[in-house]
A and B are shown apart, each in its own frame.
Chain A
Amino acid sequence: QSVLTQPPSVSAAPGQKVTISCSGSSSNIGNNYVSWYQQLPGTAPKLLIYDNNKRPSGIPDRFSGSKSGTSATLGITGLQTGDEADYYCGTWDSSLSAGQVFGGGTKLTVL
């Protein structure tokens, strides 16, 4: 069971908007930065969002991130079929079992 909680799946039509939630606690999301990763089928994860809401160079502004309290959200607008992938949130957990933690992943289907 993952430390961070994500919905197993979300879906939307091309051109639409979707959000993916990531819920944690004060020891992780509540006091640390959140990152989001996109994993296309058969490939390594790729950084999409870092420090809660920043995009690395080359990531289109269709992707956005936000954080409030102990939850974070990834937003994707103007959905494309190429966005079909697994999405993971990640952060540091400062509890006694300190370390990098991830959500269980959310499968995005573009209908």
Chain B
Amino acid sequence: QVQLQESGPGLVKPSQTLSLTCTVSGGSISSGDYYWSWIRQPPGKGLEWIGYIYYSGSTYYNPSLKSRVTISVDTSKNQFSLKLSSVTAADTAVYYCARAGVTATLDYWGQGTLVTVSS
């Protein structure tokens, strides 16, 4: 059974960089069949896709966030990471990592981690 777990600071100051890591267990990031994803959900609102990374390092980002987002992968640790720069209060959300198949199906999700942007 594949499991994903997000980790990182729950509080980030405005203008700083949000950094989160997703650790994958029960399966290998390097399997090549999946894209590893970040999605966020502001309090009381819907889901917003942030981006994907393939094990090779290829990335696909939400055009509205592309200038501030970097997703990277560490296959040796079976982890992938998210960096979001120049954050504002609008970036306050629960951040989820998830596994995506070739038809964009998100079949396994982490439990999510709340990140609050506040001074």
Contact = CB atoms under 8 A, between A and B. Distances in A.
Contact of B110 (A37, A44, A47, A51): A44
Nearest to B96: A44
B28 to A, nearest CB: 20
- Size category, B interface: 20 to 34
In this complex, the interface size class of chain A, counting residues with CB under 8 Å from chain B, is 20 to 34
Given A44-B96, A99-B62, A99-B63, A50 B46 contact: no
A101 B112 CA distance: 19
Interface stretch (B7-15, B17-25, B47-55, B79-87): B47-55
A34 to B, nearest CB: 9
B107 A47 contact: yes
Q: Which 8 A-B pairs rank lowest in CB-CB distance, beginning with the nearest?
A: A100-B49, A92-B104, A50-B105, A33-B103, A44-B109, A102-B47, A105-B46, A97-B63
